[in-house]
Amino acid sequence: MICHIDANNGIPIYEQIERQVKFAVAGRTLLPGERIPSVRDLATQTAVNVNTVARAYRQLQDQGVLHSIRGTGLAVAQDAFEICEAERRKLIQARLRSALQEAFQSQMSLSDIQTLVEAECRRLSSDSDGSP
């Protein structure tokens, strides 16, 4: 599993890790039962402190996404996929909704909003498609 951390984007590092693990599970990159990298491995790999990774993993355990096998490490829980998929949808929907709501409330017209959304979508797909 690969994990990209941006230490200066305002979002707490442990939350970035949390989210990326969840999204990986929701996207079938991480399968139920599979072991995840040890805290020490992920810490060195991402140049983040061990405690920070441990915190992310701990919170994922609290949410039932991971479960610990004593002395052996952490693995994705059997029912993690459902949890993560629901979570992903919820997170994305919430942010999208608040953004659109703000746009709408500030008296921007619906067609203006649509135009903006389409422009962004084009940008995103071209970023991932052709030119890097």
Contact residues for a copy of itself, defined by CB under 8 A: 7-8, 13, 23, 26-27, 49, 62, 67-71, 88, 91-93, 95-108, 110, 113-114, 116-117, 120-121, 124-125, 128
Residue 86 contact, options DNA, a copy of itself, none, Cβ 5-8 Å cut-off depending on partner type: none
Decide: is 68 part of the binding site for DNA (CB under 7 A).
yes
Among 21, 25, 30, 39, binds DNA (CB under 7 A): 39
- Which SS3 state, helix, strand or coil, does residue 76 take? strand
Report in angstroms how near the CB of residue 46 gets to a copy of itself at its nearest. 14
The encoded tokens of residue 125 equal: 């797909």
CB 13, CB 52: distance < 8 Å: yes
Residues in CB range of 16: below 8 A, 6 or more apart = 5, 6
66-69 and 73-76 as β-strands: parallel, antiparallel, unpaired? antiparallel
Residue 128 contact, options DNA, a copy of itself, none, Cβ 5-8 Å cut-off depending on partner type: a copy of itself
Cα angle 86, 92, 95 (rounded to 5 degrees) comes to: 135
Decide: is 64 part of the binding site for DNA (CB under 7 A).
no
